[in-house]
Amino acid sequence: MQTTRRLLTRLRFSPSKPSAQTSHSPSPSCHLVHHRCIVTSSTPPPVDVFIERPEMIVLAESSLYSIHNSWRDAFTSFFPPAGLHLATIDITKPSPNSSSNEPISLASLEETLSKDLSHLGIMANVGDDLLIPEYSTPSTTSAHTVLIARGPIPSLVSQYFLESLPLAGLVLVDPLILPVDGRVKKKFSDGRLSSSLDDMVSMLEGRRPMMYQDATTLPDNNDHPLSKATTQSHTKSELALLQALTKQRNNARPLYLEPSSVPILVLYTGNHMYQDYYRICAERTAAFHTCGGGGDYFDQVSVLKIPKENEGGEGISDDLNWVTERVYEWYDAEVG
């Protein structure tokens, strides 16, 4: 804890020059590395900052969140000055050669994630100069990646990803879709996926999730962190995938991931009318990664509620100072 406070204090009060190698726009030549590139920005530590760890922090955000509530800028301001390379990815970004009507699937998203994470380590920049040999970069394998999966779809895909490829650590934010538990008898696991999908679709459409059916009163406002209506193509793709998962629930792919395979932190968005629903999904996800199908405790995986900027109120923006510090403290204690 003393080390954590020291590093965070240095981060807050030690000014550093911005990196000359920072890019926040995708590279026009990025698709040459793979058929489909999901890297949207890559920010190495500034040249005058000591690189504390070999890991790379990778943020994958769902497009279902409001574009005004993205975590990218806050993470870019926090982690590179702390000596950690940061990259952001978009796992639902369409392929340059694909049709706009081409459906996405969990399998295709997992494949895209596997390809790009395995090579992110050699990318110090995704601008004009894709490779910078003289720059100190993390390992080229996903084993040195700490993935922050923000949203139901990225959280689900990242858990399937872990079945076959390693990560240094995983942060699951709002994991509202609970996969079928392949480690227990089917009759004890069937309801996880179906009920969580139904609840999430109901929430997005403005109806009460199943867990609220017996509630006598609910707030009049219908606020929740995920955007309800948008014309963005990425959002349409995610909504289409949710509908496909709902229709194919009887043939859903079980998740066989063993507990404690990697350090995991679970966060959920708070201060809204569906906070209890988000909390229950977060706790059940943590239990999955703790007890291996036998019980509901989650003492080995922390579950934290994300506060809003105006503490105690119902603000619209997450308290990103709190988020970055909690993620860094967890990383320093469990991964580093």
Residues 176-191: tens digit of each pLDDT? 999 988 887 655 555 7
18 pLDDT exceeds 80?
no
At residue 150 the predicted structure's pLDDT band, cuts being 50, 70 and 90, is very high
At residue 324 the predicted structure's pLDDT band, cuts being 50, 70 and 90, is very high
- Quote the pLDDT of residue 181: 83
- Quote the pLDDT of residue 118: 64
Contacts of 163 (CB under 8 A, 6+ apart): 255, 256, 257
Distance CA 93, CA 89 (A): 9
248 pLDDT exceeds 80?
yes
Nearest to 323 by CA among 144, 145, 78: 78
The pTM assigned to this predicted structure is 0.80
Identify the weakest region by mean pLDDT among 154-168, 195-209, 291-305, 320-334: 291-305
Tokens representing residue 285 in the block? 């996800």
- Quote the pLDDT of residue 249: 82
Which element (helix H / strand E) includes 43? strand 39-43
Tokens representing residue 289 in the block? 């990664």
Distance CA 273, CA 262 (A): 32
Give the C-alpha distances (Å, rounded to integers) separating 121 from 126, 172, 322: 12, 21, 27
Distance CA 314, CA 307 (A): 9
Computed over every residue of the chain, the mean pLDDT equals 74
Report the percentage of the chain scoring pLDDT > 90: 25
328 pLDDT exceeds 60?
yes
- Quote the pLDDT of residue 29: 34
Nearest to 300 by CA among 280, 283, 286, 281: 286
